[in-house]
A and B are shown apart, each in its own frame.
Chain A
Amino acid sequence: MKYIVSLVLGLIVGVSLFVAGLLYNPFLADRGLSPLSVTKAEVITLSFANVPAESIAFTNDGESLHGPYPEKVLQLWEAPIRRTSAMTTVMRDGRNQVAGIGVKFASDSESTRLFSGEAITNSVWYIYLPEHGSLFIEQTENYFPFIREVAFPAWRSSANSWRGSWLGDLTAGPGTLGTAAVTGGSGRVDGLKMAGMESISVRAFSTETGLVSSEGRLLIELPETQSAVEN
């Protein structure tokens, strides 16, 4: 009997060591500076409320951490869309003025590999900006740094919450530099192929209600020829 207890204790310690190694693995560090933050090309900067209750509408399967908003919005309970969320939000420009409307669809990705620090979401944005036209953004996002640096500390805390200041790039592809693929659909950006980057800043997170205070930001790099024409 004592050997079984010893084996089980060893198993628990082994699994715990593995989880700790995964969460504190220095080789799974952030990718650092976003390539778009050092670009010389013209950049469209957009910000949006990243807390579902501060958006226009947010929906998912109704059983996830973030509840649908408004309360009576249709939920995505059908099996093929159960792991998908849809958010409609106001997009603001760099001067914090309303610039347009954005709709984001995000689905958990089958390419998620926690073993290598990849908690992947496939997402697309449709954004209409009266000043620029319509934009389609497709990207893969990696939430692992967020889980490691915000969600896990919140879960470990006795108050089940986290407060601080966390800023991270979520976009991890499909571009070779880890950027999103952006296509202009109409207006000034019609037909343009661009690169984009989504990041979020989080100030408060609760394991019971999800994001409490958070803002998202999208950077879209215009092609240099387009910037030159504009100038």
Chain B
Amino acid sequence: MHVPDLAGELDCGETVLLKTFFFGIILGLAVAAGGLYAIPVVDQKRESSIVTVAPNGGNAETFHVNIPMDRILLGDQGQAAAIPPGLVWPTDEILADIRTEVFKIRNARDAVVGVAVRAAATSDENNVIDWVLHLPARGSFFVNMDVEPVEGGFRIGEIGSGSREFEPLSGFMTERWIANNSNDEDAPAGRIELSATYVGELEPLEEEETFE
């Protein structure tokens, strides 16, 4: 079978043109691969954490929710006005004793840093108040609160689980309602203050440090 020698039929200029084309293909592959490898597809905006050292060990961080402006959703079968407008909360009997709220949460500088859900449920067996705080650039943690408030009007709960930055941490969080006494027209009605105290896991000492 005769195979035509197409390359042999090209003159010098056409050969260079063809080589430039193939060089372009390789360059295109390299640019696409390099670009995808080097340029981050996602770059979450970070607010600087405002963490202080707690008096009895651990690190403390405070968040708050301005009510009503930071409330995204309020789901409760007994709720007269829908929040947000147009919300249709399910009327199933099994959900009658559950109240769910979704908020934006702010740091001590009043900047929004994440979102959170607070759920309160009552039943014959036990009552529940749970929080989940989700900070996109850092991680999330779950807190199951004691239902009865302690002296000073705040509730306390243990950090039950966390993800990413919060995964190795334990500790507790308190919630407290602080009413706003300002007469400013735009001022919030009050705020929910959340104070978290994180305690890291003990890390084993290096061998050298142990002998010292």
Which residues of A approach B to under 8 Å, CB–CB?
2-3, 6-19, 56-57, 59, 70-74, 76, 78-84, 86, 88, 90, 98-101, 103, 105, 107-110, 112-115, 122, 124, 126, 128, 130, 133-134, 136, 138, 174, 181, 183, 185-187
Contact = CB atoms under 8 A, between A and B. Distances in A.
B28 A12 contact: yes
Contact of A81 (B16, B24, B136): B136
B119 A101 contact: yes
Contacts of B115: 76, 81, 84, 86, 105
A186 B145 CA distance: 10
Contacts of B140: 105, 122, 124, 138
Interface in B117-149: 117, 119, 121, 123, 125-126, 128, 130, 132, 134-137, 139-140, 142, 144
Contacts of B27: 7, 10-11, 14
26 contacts: A3-B17, A3-B20, A6-B18, A6-B24, A8-B24, A9-B24, A71-B86, A74-B104, A80-B112, A81-B113, A81-B115, A83-B44, A83-B136, A84-B115, A84-B136, A98-B94, A103-B117, A105-B117, A110-B43, A112-B41, A113-B41, A122-B136, A130-B94, A130-B123, A134-B144, A185-B128
A81 B132 CA distance: 15
B20 A76 contact: no
A39 B89 CA distance: 35
Contact of A74 (B84, B135, B161): B84
Given A80-B136, A108-B42, A10 B20 contact: yes
Interface in B14-56: 16-18, 20-33, 36-37, 40-47
A128 B98 contact: yes
Contacts of B46: 80
Given A7-B20, A81-B114, A138-B163, A126 B29 contact: no
Contact of A107 (B97, B111, B136): B136
Task: Bin the interface of chain B by size.
Answer: 35 or more
A45 B16 CA distance: 64
Contacts of B29: 14-15, 17-18
Nearest to A70: B86
B178 interface: no
A134 B102 contact: no
Interface of B: 16-18, 20-33, 36-37, 40-47, 70-73, 75, 84-90, 92, 94-95, 97-98, 100, 102, 104, 111-115, 117, 119, 121, 123, 125-126, 128, 130, 132, 134-137, 139-140, 142, 144, 160-164
Given A86-B115, A88-B100, A108-B42, A15 B95 contact: no
Q: Which 8 A-B pairs have the closest CB atoms?
A: A10-B24, A14-B28, A70-B86, A136-B142, A183-B161, A107-B136, A138-B163, A18-B32
A17 B25 CA distance: 8
A130 B98 contact: yes
B68 to A, nearest CB: 10
Nearest to A129: B94
A185 B111 contact: no
